[in-house]
Amino acid sequence: MLLDRGAQVVANDISTKQLDMAKSLCPGAVSFFTMFHLPRAEQKTMLAKIHSWLRPGAMFAFNLATVDEEEIHGEFLGHGMFWSSYAVEESRAMVSAAGFEAVETEELEAGDGKLEEGDADCGEKGLW
């Protein structure tokens, strides 16, 4: 949607390998679901860095989790995974403290709430 509307999209990832894979496999794609893989204390620092990288007037679209959990360890597609997040209001405060002005925020349930019981993401929400 962003690319279709003429936006210039820049990707950032801690893993050079992931960026190379994205460039080769999905050169026009935009990825979400990344910020909450950082420890939540580091999310504050990362948001401040991202804010400093953007030109005045630029927009940054991203999502955060909605649960107040410092460490969540689990599995995704057969691999160990780490998540970390603040509750919604603390996340909003973190975004504001980093210097961003929220244009629009919305809590959305994974799969638009249509996932079947037993799906790992059933009932999970994200803050967009």
CA distance 45 to 53: 13
How confident is the model over 7-24, as pLDDT tens digits? 777 766 667 787 787 778
* pLDDT above 70 for 90: yes
Q: Are strands 125-127 and 64-65 parallel, antiparallel or unpaired?
A: antiparallel
Percentage of residues in the chain having pLDDT higher than 90 = 34
pLDDT of 80 strictly over 80: yes
pTM of the model: 0.73
Alpha-carbon gap, residue 11 to 2, rounded angstroms: 13
Residue 84: per-residue pLDDT: 93
The answer on pLDDT for 28 being more than 80 is: no
